[in-house]
Chain A
Amino acid sequence: MSDICEETLGVGLLCEGQHDPGTPPAGLRRAPSGVDGLTTEHLIINMGPQHPSTHGVLRMIVEVDGEEIVAAEVSVGYLHRGIEKLAEHRRYDAVGTLMDRGDYVSGMMGELAFALAAEQLMDVEVPRKAHWLRSLASELNRLASHLVWYGTFGLDTGAMGQFLYAMREREALLDILEALSGQRMMFNYIRPGGVVADMPLGVTEKIRAFLSTFDMYLDEYDQLLGGNEIFQGRVKGIGTIDRQMALAFGLTGANLRAAGVDFDIRKARPYAAYPELDFEVPLGSTGDAWDRYNVRMAEMRQSARMIAQLIDGMPEGEHTAKVPRIIRPNAGEVYASVESSRGETGIHLISDGTEHPYRMHYRGPSLYAAQALEEILPGHLIADVVMIIGSTDIMLGELDR
């Protein structure tokens, strides 16, 4: 171990002589050699890691020729907490607390991804009601997350009012999620076998009250931001991620669908209550920031539609299967995915039959979106950087893990 460590740490992972990027593959304009690999007299600007427009602790190193970006490098890791390593030391019912702290704006979906993976290794049948509660919690959380994106994306373009309205709606949603799970953000609500508690009295009414105005408000919000010519002028035609680039960089979620690729885990690999729900998958065409905006706005309408179906059709029954206090799944290796707010959240889980996961790999969609920024940004102006980052809706907590 020590020899390997010394070699690894002493030499470093940057291998001399291997820095020739060669010819970029088809679909890429430039080889991703990193900004510091270039010999140039252009200006190099550090943006972040504490920049308010990077939506977390993200550092962008951009090389500019005047105001035009020539090359960009995404530097991450400032929020790395070793979630995958920590999961190897947690019991299965406690890993959800780690998932909440990955994508902390939509923790329900992370919890669900892990629960689905663990259940593949357990001899357990999740009750129908638990599936419905999981979908309900996920869609409420997706709305809360998309509202953060909507509000802050507007801030990136210089608008302010929409942020206040978005936070008002989000507060109502967090109140509902708190009533449902006991927590506003770090829920630990979805666990292997089901959910931690049934729906308390009064929550259905709260949700109905929220839905009674949300569609109308959403139309107004869309008009407020999307109907603004200044906003349109700043997002239309920038940050285009076409189909080829989206697939090459492994993009998922709204970033992929904005490029016209019809793929949503909820439809393509149905889980929880989604096979029983009626909803559509919004698509874009060109894949620019404007398309990504429109896809997410349409997704909020679909989420509200699903929530209405979920509270109207909530089945009777148990909210969780009977699972042992200490879960010891069968030994094996599985993979489970969910459609989170930002794309596909995947869990690659390996069990050795003990009470702790042997290995848990957490696939977050933001990592793939962030590395695509290095390809998207060159050719744009400095002023476009924050808009393009905002349009991809990356979450640094989930990226760094």
Chain B
Amino acid sequence: MRPAIADIERTLAAISGVSVAEEALGTVARVELAFVPDALSALKAAGYESLVDFDGTDTGEFVELTYRLRSYALDLELFVKSTVAYGGTIESVWFDYPSALMPERETAELLGIHLAGHPNPKRLLTTDGVEPLLRRDVLIRTVEEVKAR
């Protein structure tokens, strides 16, 4: 289920700024934003053939991105994490993982970041004018505010 740290380090040896650790979440490889596409390409070549989840979290200082990869052949799962500044741009990984197409759009609109290299980078769930709802400083309306609309 969890890959060995040494195996992941070996796979990502050519990419600078990578750290791999065992966490409660699982085996996590932390990669600098600029190297995420290269890291994911290397991991795909190493057998992680499916991206089964992608999401982002507003940490209060930046947005943390989490890619969840799975190798069915090896029965392994790996998390790849990176960070992006508010309003920053992330490179789409759809070319290696087409399953990222919609999750990337969703993460971009709900956390207020931009997509580069995405073939169809429109909003997915909300319409123009809606704030990035998953940012911590975007508050949900109270009952009174909803009634007063």
- Could you tell me which A residues sit within 8 Å of B by CB distance? 1, 3-5, 7-9, 12-15, 18-22, 25, 27-28, 31-34, 37, 73, 76-77, 80, 82, 84-86, 89, 120, 247-250, 252, 261, 263, 268-269, 332-335, 344, 346, 348, 350, 358-359, 361, 363, 367-368, 370-371, 375, 400-401
CB–CB B99/A32 < 8 A? no
Complex: how many Å from CA A359 to CA B140? 14
With both chains docked as a complex, state the minimum distance between the C-beta of B17 and any C-beta of chain A, in angstroms: 21
CB–CB A14/B126 < 8 A? no
List residues of chain A with CB within 8 A of the CB of B105.
13
CB–CB B115/A18 < 8 A? yes
CB–CB B125/A77 < 8 A? yes
B102 in the interface (beta carbon within 8 A): yes
List residues of chain A with CB within 8 A of the CB of B125.
76-77, 80, 400-401
List residues of chain B with CB within 8 A of the CB of A4.
86-87, 112
Mark out the residues of chain B between 37 and 62 whose CB falls within 8 Å of any chain A CB in the assembled complex.
49-53, 55, 57-58
The 3 lowest CB-CB distance pairs between A and B, nearest first, are A250-B99, A21-B119, A4-B87
List residues of chain B with CB within 8 A of the CB of A20.
119
Interface magnitude class on chain B? 35 or more
Complex: how many Å from CA A28 to CA B119? 13
0 or 1 for each of B114-130: is its CB under 8 Å from A? (1 = yes): 11111111111111111
CB–CB B87/A7 < 8 A? yes
List residues of chain A with CB within 8 A of the CB of B95.
22, 25
Mark out the residues of chain B between 108 and 146 whose CB falls within 8 Å of any chain A CB in the assembled complex.
108-110, 112-135, 137, 140
With both chains docked as a complex, state the minimum distance between the C-beta of B91 and any C-beta of chain A, in angstroms: 10
List residues of chain A with CB within 8 A of the CB of B50.
247-248, 250
Complex: how many Å from CA A348 to CA B64? 13
- Could you tell me which B residues sit within 8 Å of A by CB distance? 1, 23-26, 49-53, 55, 57-58, 66, 68, 72, 75, 79, 86-87, 94-99, 101-103, 105-106, 108-110, 112-135, 137, 140
A34-B57 CB under 8 A given contacts A252-B52, A344-B52, A371-B102? no
Complex: how many Å from CA A12 to CA B114? 9
CB–CB B25/A334 < 8 A? yes
Closest to B52 in A: A250
With both chains docked as a complex, state the minimum distance between the C-beta of B53 and any C-beta of chain A, in angstroms: 5
A363-B49 CB under 8 A given contacts A77-B126, A85-B134? no
List residues of chain B with CB within 8 A of the CB of A371.
98-99, 101-102
Complex: how many Å from CA A15 to CA B57? 23
- 12 of the cross-chain contacts (CB-CB < 8 Å) are A4-B87, A14-B122, A21-B119, A25-B95, A32-B101, A250-B97, A269-B1, A346-B68, A348-B68, A361-B57, A361-B66, A400-B125
Closest to B69 in A: A250
CB–CB A268/B122 < 8 A? no
CB–CB B66/A348 < 8 A? yes
CB–CB B24/A120 < 8 A? yes
Complex: how many Å from CA A37 to CA B75? 38
Complex: how many Å from CA A371 to CA B107? 15
Interface centre among B55, B79, B126 (most CB of A within 10 A): B55
CB–CB B55/A34 < 8 A? no
Complex: how many Å from CA A332 to CA B108? 24
CB–CB B132/A31 < 8 A? no
CB–CB B53/A248 < 8 A? no
Complex: how many Å from CA A80 to CA B125? 6
Which of A9, A25, A333 is B23 in contact with, Cβ under 8 Å? A333
Which of A8, A22, A333, A400 is B132 in contact with, Cβ under 8 Å? A8
With both chains docked as a complex, state the minimum distance between the C-beta of B95 and any C-beta of chain A, in angstroms: 5
Complex: how many Å from CA A86 to CA B110? 13
CB–CB A13/B52 < 8 A? no
List residues of chain A with CB within 8 A of the CB of B134.
84-85, 359
CB–CB B51/A332 < 8 A? no
- Excluding A13-B109, A13-B122, A335-B25, 18 further A-B contacts by CB distance (< 8 Å) are A5-B112, A7-B87, A8-B112, A8-B114, A9-B131, A18-B115, A21-B120, A22-B95, A32-B98, A32-B101, A32-B120, A76-B125, A89-B140, A247-B50, A348-B53, A359-B134, A367-B102, A367-B103
A359-B57 CB under 8 A given contacts A4-B87, A334-B24? yes
Closest to A78 in B: B125
With both chains docked as a complex, state the minimum distance between the C-beta of A116 and any C-beta of chain B, in angstroms: 14
Closest to B117 in A: A18
List residues of chain B with CB within 8 A of the CB of A25.
95-96, 98
Complex: how many Å from CA A80 to CA B149? 19
Complex: how many Å from CA A4 to CA B12? 33
Complex: how many Å from CA A361 to CA B79? 14
Complex: how many Å from CA A22 to CA B96? 13
CB–CB B25/A14 < 8 A? no
List residues of chain A with CB within 8 A of the CB of B103.
367
